Structure 1
């Protein structure tokens, strides 16, 4: 039977709708996000979590960029939390090369694990009995992302680690790092990394501080899978902060060509779904490894799944 033009258009529209549905990212678990203040070891911290979530949730530790106050990650943290994570954003202030400011270190994941264990049983905690204390994932920005790469590698290097050795906590399962590379600042070389956990690099194509070419080289230096690099069109170094060039941080020289809301949404979606995929979410894995690249015109993606 031949279909008339109207019928053919209806069938085509139905097929297109079905194809689009297949490509769509899994929705945020709970778009309503609550927030409270806490303390992780000696660091004041902001905690974001899905307000209506039931059961136990994994924790995502956000390791800030150099000199960026934690308050400027509120939109990004909320966006990640909506996908079903407890997002913890500490202000980690310490001395680095005679400068006392916000500089993440590799000891932060171990301190976050201590916080998880204590907060899950603390009377009066909004998260009492809701924390999956066996699952910690890492979010990183710039300097904080570089520190997280050291965690992934299980190695100790100044200025991210100041002890004689380093052991990654077993609770750390994966990392999604924005504006991050492992280029050595003095020598300009890139070290090979034996990443013991899955690592995703999220890189703005107009980043003027952490250059896109350096992220590409760093991706090749990750020796183990799974790994992924997500190139986000029109986004610069501060694409995940609430404002461009947050006060106190180094200024960005490259202009972002998409809105801040767009860059935060895109980056948070890819980071959250990559992390969920590593924790066993099949729908998230389908998106980040199979359908997402074609469905999202704002990114290009390269992955290694093993």
Structure 2
């Protein structure tokens, strides 16, 4: 049973509010490599989690923040290339190392409290005169990136539901700052509870799925996509990518390996996945050029993907 929650804006009103943010968001469309902005990096702290922060150093105006929720047992350093790629489209990408105890294992396991912690970090960092991002953060806007276990935790955030092991409280409230999610190698199939009948997602969700993923199976992503009740929603199938298509290298140390080999290069899987994730998120923040790409022209022009979308 879902606990009663305070009254909130109806979903169409919330999506309209997200679109109204367009004026504060950088307009983005796929650009030549020579036009890509320089991405800077520094280390920070999100509550008790050490974090890497990536941002376009020459961006003008306030930037939305993308919280990257890592895969199980994957250190944040393994997402550097992907985080830089997403940041180049006009995001501050924050990658915390969220370490906690899950089923007697103390390791990197994201939880649903991370978005609220990231929002606190956004406020503090924006007000910190010594930060490279002082006065440059759109503190009303947080989007989610997720990988595997972290993506599953983000699905709980999107659905405003609470389930073990991603959420350990009696209920969960979706922060109003969270606007959309793009999740790689993610589905809602749980070894404890099986598949839920449906997912009443309160924000737009994109699933990015490698076609040769041997850990989070493509069929499970397809099933999860059909169970997302609300649009905009999208599934992007990246040809030849496996479960670690967004990490710096295959089978990062400490994580369970994917026995399914990836026939495309790591650079290609990262670039493709980051492009579709960034532009989907930009589209949900009101960027018309990004929306045109992800919902109209991108599938035909990108030979590395096949895409299914629902825009409303």
Do both share a fold (TM > 0.5)? yes
Does the 8 A contact of 1:203 with 1:232 survive in 2? yes
C-alpha displacement of 1:54: 1.2
Secondary structure of 2:154 counterpart: helix
State which structure, 1 or 2, has the greater radius of gyration over its C-alpha atoms.
1
Secondary structure of 2:298 counterpart: helix
Equivalent in the alignment of 2:30 = 26
Distance 1:195 1:267, change over 3 A: same
Quick one: distance in 1 between partners of 2:30 and 2:202?
A: 27
Question: After the TM superposition, which residues 108-257 of structure 1 pair with which residues of structure 2 at under 5 Å, given as runs?
Answer: 108-257=114-263
C-alpha displacement of 1:30: 4.4
Quick one: distance in 1 between partners of 2:197 and 2:110?
A: 20
C-alpha displacement of 1:187: 4.5
1:43 aligns with 2:46: no
Secondary structure of 1:49 counterpart: strand
C-alpha displacement of 1:188: 3.4
Equivalent in the alignment of 1:101 = 107
Quick one: distance in 1 between partners of 2:194 and 2:160?
A: 22
C-alpha displacement of 1:184: 1.7
CA RMSD of aligned residues (A): 1.2
Does the 8 A contact of 1:27 with 1:83 survive in 2? no
TM-score normalised to the size of structure 2?
0.89
1:268 aligns with 2:308: no
Count of residues in correspondence between the two structures:
283
Secondary structure of 2:124 counterpart: helix
Quick one: distance in 1 between partners of 2:195 and 2:207?
A: 18
Does the 8 A contact of 1:30 with 1:53 survive in 2? no
Quick one: distance in 2 between partners of 1:105 and 1:98?
A: 16
C-alpha displacement of 1:186: 3.2
Structure 1's unaligned 5+ residue stretches are 1-23
Does the 8 A contact of 1:193 with 1:221 survive in 2? yes
C-alpha displacement of 1:252: 0.7
Quick one: distance in 2 between partners of 1:25 and 1:296?
A: 14
1:73 aligns with 2:86: no
Quick one: distance in 2 between partners of 1:39 and 1:104?
A: 15
Quick one: distance in 2 between partners of 1:184 and 1:43?
A: 26
Does the 8 A contact of 1:30 with 1:52 survive in 2? no
1:298 aligns with 2:296: no
Does the 8 A contact of 1:26 with 1:283 survive in 2? no
Quick one: distance in 2 between partners of 1:191 and 1:184?
A: 12
Structure 2's unaligned 5+ residue stretches are 1-27
Secondary structure of 2:270 counterpart: helix
Quick one: distance in 1 between partners of 2:39 and 2:195?
A: 41
TM-score normalised to the size of structure 1?
0.91
Equivalent in the alignment of 1:54 = 60
Quick one: distance in 2 between partners of 1:296 and 1:53?
A: 27
Secondary structure of 2:120 counterpart: helix
C-alpha displacement of 1:258: 0.3
